[in-house]
Structure 1
Amino acid sequence: MSEAGTRYEVITSNNQSANVWVCGLISVLFATACMFARIAYRARLGIRSGQDDYVFWLAWAVQVIQSGLLLKATALGLGKNDSIVAADHVSSIQTYAAASTVLTVVSIYVAKVSMILLISRLFARSLRSYYAAVAVVGVAAAIQIQAGCVYPTCTKVASRYYANAALDIATEVLIIGLPVYCIRDVRMAKVHKAKVLATFSARSLMVLFAGLIVWSATRIRETGKLSTSIVLPVVLLQLQLGLSLCICAIVPCFRMIFQSTDIVSTTSGDLTREGKQISNHSNRARSFGRPTQGTGTDTQISYIRQPTPPPPDIPRKPEHSAQRSQDTSGAASHTTGRPSEGGASDSSLVPSATTGLSTKPLVQAPEA
């Protein structure tokens, strides 16, 4: 056990900045690790990057920037009581913390857009209106959470977090419901449908964190000490952001949601041209009676006709030769001393040792 004097920071009722340090670093480090795991996985399979990948990288870049701003605010005194913070640092703390909070909300909603783009690629549907709506809601959430908060006053802090949590829950329910809506018209085994829905249901953890943020914002009203009570909502918001990015990075790596042999819509007519070509190619390959194999794309299963293997090399039966048959049967009868069946006798075939001619007469007299 380390002594109090050798610790980096001691957490007390007047100083909780260490919580912000730890949770902020954990959030960005885990998200970064998951991002590199996603890149390595897709590179190993040779999968090209799509729009959802680019949007996800944008969300990660925003998180890195906001983490730097948050750590800067913490170094100046965020999470400490006003009595132990230098007066000339208060304005800077508020500026860095406000910018970090806005970018946190922006990063969360950019990650949501990435998830909707992934769903659009997987089910070959145009979901432009959905991710556009989520983007608009994200902008509104980022504005309302800090609008009007100008040093030295910031009113209705708890209400701002309430509104942000409500918008967060609404958009997460939309993201969870989109796979349920899109998978209805897909011809797929029920067990595969269950796997797809179970994978995307991981986003329900975001709803849980939104509820925790509402609870933590309530404590702000109860304590009335904004300098220290704001730490819990900030920490939960950081953990929510890190978990959101981790889910966005890991979900495309679950191959079990892309292992259907038929991802074909039965009623909707909004399949993309690529999806129709893949479906037609698969049907033609099956009609020819040739096996097909799914290739590594995370949008749909792409079928490639496998080459027909060459026939096995079976040794050919030697050609039948009358002379060889006679020689063989003659040799056998000469050895056993009995005439062979179905052929001439050995005396008619084996020549005499002296004359070289057969010793058996061509015509024999009948027996008396």
Structure 2
Amino acid sequence: MNVAAGFESLYGAAPDGIWAAPGRVNLIGEYTDFNDGFVLPFALPQATVAAVSRRDDGVLRLHSADAGGGTVRLDAAAPEPPPGDWTAYPAGVVRALREAGHPVTGADVHLASTVPSGAGLSSSAALETAVALALNDLFGLGLSRPELARIAQRAENAFVGVPCGIMDQMVSACAREGHALHLDTRDLSYRQVPFDPAAEGLTLLVVDTRVKHALGDGAYAERRAGCEAGARALGVRALREVDAERLPEALALLEDDRTRRYVRHVVSDNARVERTVALLDAGDVRAVGPVLTEGHASLRDDLRVSCPELDLVVETANAAGALGARMTGGGFGGSALVLVEAGRAEAVAAAVERAFAGAGHAPPAVFPAVPSTGARRL
């Protein structure tokens, strides 16, 4: 992936620099980030790489080695990408920076990525974060990593139209190799929690089901609205304020079954994040496995964002000897995580592949998830 050569062939000169930002896996804490809750993601080795040069003439030129098509030329002062086009992500970053008062006067951008698209591994956040970091450096904006994450989130919320929380952008910007990011999404305080499965003789597999069900269209926004309705009904600012020990009392106050299910998931998954952090701090990584499986059941039964392929991964992996497994990301397809003894990883992966073949599904992509570093200039 020689983005420097690609940039020079497109724009006729070497880039001012090259930046990279990773995709992510969320170990535990799903649909909690827009509820001011807790999450525990880590960065993947797979990343979006951006070769970028500064321009001062108001021109923004964008090209992706992965999207196909030619270079898109936009007005940096008010970039309006074609509807539904990938350029909404980098153009949204420029707009978010400018609306925050930062003088971004144009850029030439060439992008290439190894983050699988549509796998629930935050390829969009990787793209946004790489571009935000590049522009921060080139224009001397002096923004902190959490501030860059906010800019990237603003790009996706306001200009792409996806009401995502802050988790994906924060871990892409702030991750540390060999650690998971224990993030409080209310105030963006975070702690790097040591997490190195390989050092414990374990493997954490990502199983990309390679499916994305149409049911997922709009489902994220619907669940966000349902959680917000639950918070209003309980008289709290956000569901993170509902204590897990008092969850039965809170649920008894809710008349709507769907709202009860959403609230139960969010409150219990916040508690699962805290339990997982305590286990990692104690060095008991193997005990995280059952917490993952418990989290999957909550996503499947209460939030109802799983799908047959994700359920098949979890059931098959656990039956084949995994320590635990769960879907990760927004659901309705995408990827699952499987925690397994390193010596059993190949056998468990093979069992999942056989199960997919037997069910008539396309073969999944299976690869180890290695906690890696966050956004950086290369």
Q: When the two structures are superposed, what TM-score results if normalisation uses the length of structure 1? A: 0.28
Bigger RCO (CA 8 Å, 6+ sep): 2
Structure with bigger strand share is: 2
Q: When the two structures are superposed, what TM-score results if normalisation uses the length of structure 2? A: 0.28
Structure with bigger helix share is: 1
